Structure 1
């Protein structure tokens, strides 16, 4: 990290503001070479984190924009190095000229996530916090943003660190035993160590249990929209998205494949899956669509079972029962309310053990607000989400799972009366897995994959 990097930290489209970001030993010098302060003072003479008005210069020294510049000296900066930012007007042409001028000063283009990677390598962030930066940028719901913000503040890291420290104490005890082989672990000592390991096991198990909720929070809740042909599935998808995503006709069986889109509903990020109408059919293509519909139903966390409220039949009820057997949460939606409003409740619904029933009309919007409220009630927030003490990706869950396996193996070895060194191997394996979780145990291949998902400039 002896070189200095630069990148456009804002998007490629025209905007009110565009930012050029630099980090490295020559960051302040290079920024000062392409910036002329109105005061005439060199940029390097200003104190850290002060905004300075001046002009951005191209590589020939000609003014191209009036900008604000700021510098931060390491290690008290985002990356832990000297950094600088030039806040320009958001013209892609202006930003390109500024970047070209910086390259002429010996600065190189930053790679994806390189600023955050330097922050990690310089100890400004651990690996969980670095991943939280990407999650915060990608957050599509307020819940996801709050969770990522909590992780970035270090809440999840502190929870992991507490478990790690408890295992360090256990490891230290066993090292002491190995240093003094003539002394056996007495019964009280073994019980005490087992309690410590049991506590660590409980904490790791609870942490691992957060992964399923964390994954749904960041990737979206799989929500299958199912029903017979012409029940209004594609109309509902379009109504929830706010635009015509799926083709809608009066001809049953128009949708032949699953159509997936994401939207936020009731404050929850949903992966809406519009499915082909489920029915017996002799059409080979439609049969394939029905098979995919059934597969989507099996993988869903929420099923919206759509039934034409003016034409409820036994096929609808059979599909509803199938959904209730396969999916954890189900809502029954009686569609086309604008066409049958005022009629009696269909007899087939009487006496059934039903999930929540809502009347809706995708054409008029009737009942869609109550649908949002119902979804919000089905997926209430919890303390782990709001605080950020939640695993949100497979890498984190894998490391936590290996740590849990190590602790469980250590308890079994201790209970079986195995030698201290055998128990120690399992404890230290668990510690190494926790180290991978936070980046304490650095693996270059893992960190490379993590930072590849970042955008350039972050």
Structure 2
């Protein structure tokens, strides 16, 4: 009997706290931590129904009043008998309830052990298990919707469809070889080619989502660039909603990169406020300027800030050319409260790279920030993430890529006239990679690495 228990709601005081228990026979020991108001024993409580009662410490003394519920396996989150205790979120109370369960025979659950048991018991595959962690870590509504769809099996269905298709053709081939006297139809090259092409097309479609998945999960690395006192730090503070960066009238206040994560137009931006780019004899400032250039070159998006009150300068021209090295960039004409920014657009040098959009804002008053949010949303459209068919981590990407390459090799071997067994060697390699994706063939090391990123209690 291996029964695990953990606090599922963290260590900070909260309105509601939850303690979870899982393992065959756990209902017998749950009575040590909970006494139903009705007087019924825990094992006799109605399944999947909240019951009111007293939370007990090791000595059986009441430490709180709240609710408990039991979920008999296999129809539970982990696939085995589970229970939850819902009480006030005092860390002291939660620890006392947990201590009672330990005294009765449970042990502390490891990181992600509840979800790992759900995987091992066939309640989730690996893509669904990873979606649980993605849902907890989601920093935007789109990321949450994508994770929720994957938790519902969207990726699993795509990968299993490919797996089953390849398994059908390989098993038919081996059936013909192993049972030559049976009346089994031979594997036709045309049928195999069709199966390989369909599988490859699905994998290509999924692999094309990797960049979008990275943006959903980790956000858009965004460099704010401009010359000193253009209002870069003010823009970061305005987007963050608080004074994250120091702002003064003295040029060159920001000498190093300052980072902050914000939601802008529903898109998670990893903002990097850079040192003002200009020629300087100060060694520290020069180092900051060099870091600014590096930040732009590694960013997904650049916000090139120009002081609309001062107009374009030669330094601005250099900065805009630097911003244009980014895959996407937006020209932000700041200080619109002093001089209408759009009046400067006509004065913009014609030979400069054209931005994806031009936005006039006042970082001081907040004017135009909604327009900037719309421009960001246009550059990183949410699209249809409801189906969840987006690869969101390196493990999935690498395994899908190995599968796609193996299928491509199999298709090339088929076209070149090689024997079916040579073709099917690559098809079986693709099956192995697909099995890693869903967990059918994933080794213990891969499984352990996945669940190590989970919090305790999940």
User: Which segments of structure 1 move beyond 3 Å, counting only runs of 4 or more?
Assistant: 176-182, 341-344, 350-354
Rounded to whole Å, the distance in 1 between the matches of 2:341 and 2:209 is 45
Contact 1:22 1:84 (8 Å CA) reproduced: yes
Count of aligned positions: 453
Rounded to whole Å, the distance in 2 between the matches of 1:358 and 1:373 is 10
Worse-superposed segment, 27-36 or 413-422: 413-422
Pairing of 1:183-194 with structure 2 (within 5 A): 189-194=188-193
Pairing of 1:79-118 with structure 2 (within 5 A): 79-118=78-117
Rounded to whole Å, the distance in 1 between the matches of 2:341 and 2:114 is 62
What do the CA deviations read for 1:7-59 (whole angstroms, capped 9, x no partner)? 01112111111011100013211212221111111111122101111101111
What's the C-alpha RMSD, in Å, of the aligned pairs?
2.0
Shift of 1:394: 0.3
Pairing of 1:415-454 with structure 2 (within 5 A): 415-454=415-454
Rounded to whole Å, the distance in 1 between the matches of 2:394 and 2:54 is 46
Worse-superposed segment, 129-138 or 252-261: 252-261
Rounded to whole Å, the distance in 2 between the matches of 1:436 and 1:125 is 14
Residue 233 (1) aligns with residue 232 (2): yes
What do the CA deviations read for 1:353-407 (whole angstroms, capped 9, x no partner)? 6322111111111111111111111111222x22111110000001101101110
Rounded to whole Å, the distance in 1 between the matches of 2:186 and 2:237 is 67
Contact 2:172 2:187 (8 Å CA) reproduced: no
CA 1:47–1:190 in structure 2 vs 1: closer, same or farther (change >3 Å)? same
Gaps of 5+ in 2: none
Contact 1:406 1:427 (8 Å CA) reproduced: yes
Rounded to whole Å, the distance in 1 between the matches of 2:180 and 2:415 is 19
Pairing of 1:109-188 with structure 2 (within 5 A): 109-179=108-178
- Secondary structure of 1:272's counterpart equals strand
Shift of 1:134: 0.5
Contact 1:178 1:421 (8 Å CA) reproduced: no
Contact 1:36 1:54 (8 Å CA) reproduced: yes
- Secondary structure of 2:338's counterpart equals helix
Rounded to whole Å, the distance in 2 between the matches of 1:178 and 1:292 is 63
Pairing of 1:353-432 with structure 2 (within 5 A): 354-355=354-355, 356-383=357-384, 385-432=385-432
Contact 2:333 2:341 (8 Å CA) reproduced: no
Rounded to whole Å, the distance in 2 between the matches of 1:288 and 1:179 is 70
Rounded to whole Å, the distance in 1 between the matches of 2:445 and 2:269 is 32
What do the CA deviations read for 1:221-256 (whole angstroms, capped 9, x no partner)? 111111112111111111111111111122222222
Shift of 1:188: 9.7
- Secondary structure of 1:36's counterpart equals strand
Shift of 1:75: 0.3
- Secondary structure of 1:124's counterpart equals coil
Gaps of 5+ in 1: none
Rounded to whole Å, the distance in 1 between the matches of 2:386 and 2:327 is 23
Counterpart position of 2:71? 72
Shift of 1:158: 0.4
Contact 1:309 1:346 (8 Å CA) reproduced: no
Rounded to whole Å, the distance in 2 between the matches of 1:296 and 1:336 is 24
- Secondary structure of 1:224's counterpart equals strand
* TM-score normalized with structure 2 length: 0.95
CA 1:442–1:351 in structure 2 vs 1: closer, same or farther (change >3 Å)? closer
Shift of 1:181: 8.1
Contact 2:128 2:152 (8 Å CA) reproduced: yes
- Secondary structure of 2:337's counterpart equals helix
Rounded to whole Å, the distance in 2 between the matches of 1:283 and 1:373 is 38
Rounded to whole Å, the distance in 1 between the matches of 2:189 and 2:345 is 67
Worse-superposed segment, 247-256 or 91-100: 247-256
Rounded to whole Å, the distance in 1 between the matches of 2:9 and 2:381 is 34
Shift of 1:263: 1.1
Worse-superposed segment, 444-453 or 249-258: 249-258
